[in-house]
Structure 1
């Protein structure tokens, strides 16, 4: 994947100006896109992320990172970033036909924000950047759809709620089975599905939830925290699921996607989570138990209190089944008997980190940054630290 030399020189020269204005460009892009196609905001994009500007930041970070990679490392395609985006797109049912639409409004936004600086040469160079990125994503998404045996964009199937389990005051597990009689699709531990619900105003909003059961199970489980306030306007989808979804109800669920999956490795593992980020970790633990993993498995979890710790019993049960499993938990409000060194933020100082460990992180960005920094200080290779962000990937926008 390489830019033409002429375009590479132009992008390199204009990258500082585009980078400085990328937030304004993406903000205008989304406004133009939704003015022309309001159905996309109602039925595909997360309205909460749009209102908070989070999706804009993520898009800006991705475009800037991709363009930078093209001019600084033209011999290497940024597959990690592209794959993460493609998995999210596939879970939403994005199709190749939508890329020209995005191109039209993004090009118009660049031209409007940068004005006379966008010469024909500059426009052509940035068009080349866009279509290199779009072409790579379309190809990865085509492969992902083919692996699931669905046509591009045709990811949705009806699933029935077989059981509803109240885990904590604001977390519920829904056990789901296919409502169309077809087999449940295979998945890998750590992957997620998209859930689409029709809200009171007729909008069909989509959110992603990790699968928490072992990959071999026929019934699928998602564990949903009721988001209250924050970026999602009062948790409109999670609230709908909590308040309205009962046994026997049918919802639309995507095929499983997500690139944070366990490698087939015998290496030591560290699985770190915070809050509802425990959900993919539980699936990984289930998989490791089923595999009979013999190397050390260190689990690290941070939460507000024991009462808020969803799937706590499952984590404890699975860790004890592992040959060399250990659990380390930090609570903000633990109660009198909890050790002082395990109160507050995660501190790995007293945790033994084996040589060659592979780490998987899931939780708020600040938590993952802190744990990653501590692991790097302990000598863990950056390539052996993997992460999952619930929602738009702001890591790219802030690194």
Structure 2
């Protein structure tokens, strides 16, 4: 338990840490991986190179310090981080390692400004957070393993089918090698895969959204091939996504974690709008398929944005669902329309998603909005929802990669 003096010190030093937050976290990761290279099996190196992981850690530390005396505010953030940790098999023994190198990084970057009082206060704050996280994650591990069909850690699955859905997206239908029934999941959640690419020293863990409704027999994920960044000719493409596309074949085995994720379809009777950009279609497809398989029928609008036909995955399936279910409407945006693109069949609107073209499709009433896609797409959707004055409690979103800000989960903070 922090003393009142330590609590005050933590809150008072948040502004100073904010000035150096990303530098501290970059220093932290470099130090920790040098001392514990085995942890490279957990963290995505691509997020290390881009700085996304460092920014995510900095955001979480600053949010925790700023609201350390308001646990009701921090609850959603703790839940989101714990869910991600469980999908990566972060264990109690990892927390002392993180704490040691985090404090060393604060001391190294702040120099003389990092007084013993400040370091002691942040050590106590981290210890408190670690205890909370270990407790929450322990319950999550227990629940995942003890549910019907559940398991500990990563379990072997066989690739039953491999289907190319677009020029950049391929689906893998996975069945458990032991033949046991599978636990259900919430539409919108994801699977973690642990993959050892031949010739690499470490395994890698990646999360991929489940792209179909639960059926108790198989899981389906749909993976986008991550190409090298534009303008960086020597930068590699996505290691795991390219391996899954090019090397993994039907009959091969992959290690899979129980489904996880705090982005999922809510249990309500409200109308639903599902908005996706690119591979963000995958959790939305799981939600759509679950909605049409259950009753009573809720009004559903399925909105998808793609570059064009070649990049438009699951087009025929969504068209068929909309045709055969009167409660479902679909609207597709193509940003690069060609002469071969037929309105109504391939796409419904040309250009970027915007309120003026979207508004005619939206249902009336207290609608729930779910959205997922690249950063530019989610910013555009959030702007539309702001103009529609949709309250935060009816907005649900998934972030690609580590969260860069915890503002969306620090609800009610003023």
Q: Deviations over 1:253-292 (max 9, x none)?
A: 1110001111110011111110000000000011111112
Q: How far off its partner does 1:394 sit?
A: 1.8
Distance in 1 separating the partners of 2:389 and 2:116: 48
Deviation at 1:3, TM superposition (A): 5.6
**Cα offset for 1:127?**
2.0
| Deviation at residue 57 of structure 1 after TM alignment | 1.0
SS at match of 1:132: helix
Paired residue for 1:91?
87
The partner residue of 1:374 within 370, 381, 384 is: 384
Tell me if 1:345 matches 2:341.
no
TM-score by length of 1: 0.92
Query: Structure 1 residues 136 and 312, CA, compared in 2 at 3 Å: closer, same or farther?
Result: farther
Q: Pick from 136, 154, 166 the counterpart of residue 132 of structure 2.
A: 136
Are residues 190 and 47 of structure 1, via their aligned partners in 2, closer, same or farther at CA, if it must alter by over 3 Å?
same
Residue aligning to 2:212? 213
Shift of 1:69: 2.2
Deviations 1:205-238 (A, max 9, x none): 1111111121134111111111011399411001
For the residue of structure 2 that corresponds to 1:149, the secondary structure is helix
Question: For residue 105 of structure 1, what is the aligned residue in structure 2?
Answer: 101
- 1:353 Cα shift? 4.5
Aligned pairs for 1:267-346 (under 5 A) are 267-336=270-339, 337-338=342-343, 342-346=349-353
Q: Distance in 1 between matches of 2:363 and 2:121?
A: 46
Instruction: Kindly indicate whether residue 173 of structure 2 is the aligned counterpart of residue 170 of structure 1.
Output: no
In structure 2, C-alpha distance between the alignment counterparts of 1:27 and 1:193, rounded to whole Å = 28
Q: Aligned partners of 2:81 and 2:266: how far apart in 1?
A: 20
Number of aligned residue pairs: give it: 394
Gap change, CA 1:113 and 1:266, over 3 Å in 2: same
Instruction: Identify unmatched segments of 5+ residues in structure 2.
Output: none
**For 1:76, what is the secondary structure of its paired residue?**
helix
Tell me the residue number matched to 1:40: 39
The 1:109–1:397 alpha-carbon spacing in structure 2 relative to 1, beyond 3 Å, is: farther
**Which residue of structure 1 lines up, in the alignment, with residue 262 of structure 2?**
259
Contact 1:195 1:253 in 2 (8 A): yes
Q: Which of 113, 117, 123 is the aligned partner of 1:117?
A: 113
Question: Matched residue of 1:168: which SS?
Answer: coil
Q: Residue 215 of structure 1 contacts residue 287 of structure 1 at CA under 8 Å; is this kept in 2?
A: yes
**Aligned partner of residue 262 in structure 1, secondary structure:** coil
State the alpha-carbon separation in 2 of the partners of residues 37 and 213 from structure 1: 38
**Deviations, residues 6-37 of structure 1 (Å, cap 9, x unaligned):** 22321222111011111110000000000001
- Within the alignment, does 1:361 sit opposite 2:371 as a pair? yes
2:299/2:363 contact within 8 Å kept:
no
Tell which deviates more after alignment, 176-185 or 99-108.
176-185
The match for 1:245 among 234, 240, 248 is: 248
CA offsets per residue over residues 29-50 of structure 1, 9 Å max, x none?
0000000011212x21111111
Distance 2:90 2:19 in 1: 29
CA contact (8 A) 1:176 1:220 kept: yes
What do residues 290-341 of structure 1 show as CA deviations (whole Å, max 9, x unaligned)?
1124332112111111220112222223334444211111111122455999
CA distance in structure 2 between the partners assigned to 1:174 and 1:62 by the alignment:
33
Scaled by the length of structure 2, what TM-score is found?
0.89
> What are the ranges of 5 or more consecutive residues in structure 1 without an aligned counterpart?
none
Q: Which whole-Å CA distance do the structure 1 matches of 2:33 and 2:267 have between them?
A: 42
